[in-house]
């Protein structure tokens, strides 16, 4: 019985953490917004313990700040933070390409890799369509899953994949308020998901690397534009 209770609480803890993360990504919880364990527990109709654990988990992921005697606050990432995320992503992805060829295929057919690439490509197609349409709600969900699966496949290292996933979520948390306030997101949101997975499928390492270089340049250019606007 205690084991069953622990499993239920851990599941609830993950569900609450996922729901709150989605609230932040959707912009319904704004950077700097504060709330208490009691407020969240009442909102979801659950006890305080799994809520507190979920909030601690989100704090460890860098999405929330603990405010002494007041509860929690949605973390406010700066433009410098975002630039740091992009640069960290650049270094890690470059390291993956330098350490081994992420497009190399082992001798003989690799059915599991092929199945994974098909699945990733489908997510990429959905993300690219949403990006071209400027539909952030659809884009964010598919984009996060696309990059998480792709990172696991090309790095073959769960620690690297989890680190890149954390950067991805943080980058979206930073970006969402700016993007929702920008009525002219059509035409410049990155939509190269399919180009990247196609390059990997074809075994073209240079093409895959160029897609990533172009994406990183676009991200840093956007950070520069945000800085210019803030002056």
pLDDT digits (tens, 9 = 90+) for 191-221: 999 999 999 999 888 899 899 999 999 999 9
Q: Which residue has the higher pLDDT, 114 or 150?
A: 150
More confident residue, 5 or 206: 206
Is residue 122's pLDDT more than 80? yes
Q: Provide the token pair at 222.
A: 């956007």
Position with higher pLDDT, 184 vs 21: 21
Q: What is the model's pTM?
A: 0.87
Residue range 2-74, CATH number: 1.10.10.10
Residue 8 to residue 17: CA distance in whole angstroms: 14
């Amino acid at each position: 019985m205690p084991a069953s209770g622990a499993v239920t609480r851990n599941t609830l803890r993950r569900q609450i953490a996922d729901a709150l993360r989605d609230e932040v990504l959707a912009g319904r919880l704004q950077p700097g917004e504060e709330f208490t364990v009691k407020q969240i527990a009442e909102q979801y109709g659950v006890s305080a313990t799994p809520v507190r654990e979920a909030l601690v988990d989100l704090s460890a992921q860098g999405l929330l700040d603990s405010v002494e005697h007041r509860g929690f606050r949605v973390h406010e990432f700066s433009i410098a933070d975002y630039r740091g995320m992009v640069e960290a992503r650049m270094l890690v992805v470059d390291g993956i390409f330098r350490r081994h060829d992420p497009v190399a295929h082992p001798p003989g057919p690799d059915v599991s890799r092929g199945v994974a690439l098909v699945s990733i490509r489908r997510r990429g197609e959905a993300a690219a369509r949403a990006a071209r349409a400027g539909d952030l709600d659809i884009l964010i969900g598919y984009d996060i899953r696309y990059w998480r699966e792709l990172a696991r496949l090309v790095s073959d290292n769960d620690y690297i994949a989890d680190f890149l996933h954390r950067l991805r979520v943080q980058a979206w948390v930073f970006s969402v308020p700016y993007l929702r306030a920008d009525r002219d997101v059509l035409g410049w949101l990155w939509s190269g998901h399919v180009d990247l997975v196609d390059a990997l499928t074809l075994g073209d390492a240079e093409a895959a690397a160029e897609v990533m270089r172009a994406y990183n340049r676009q991200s840093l250019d956007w950070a520069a534009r945000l800085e210019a606007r803030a002056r």
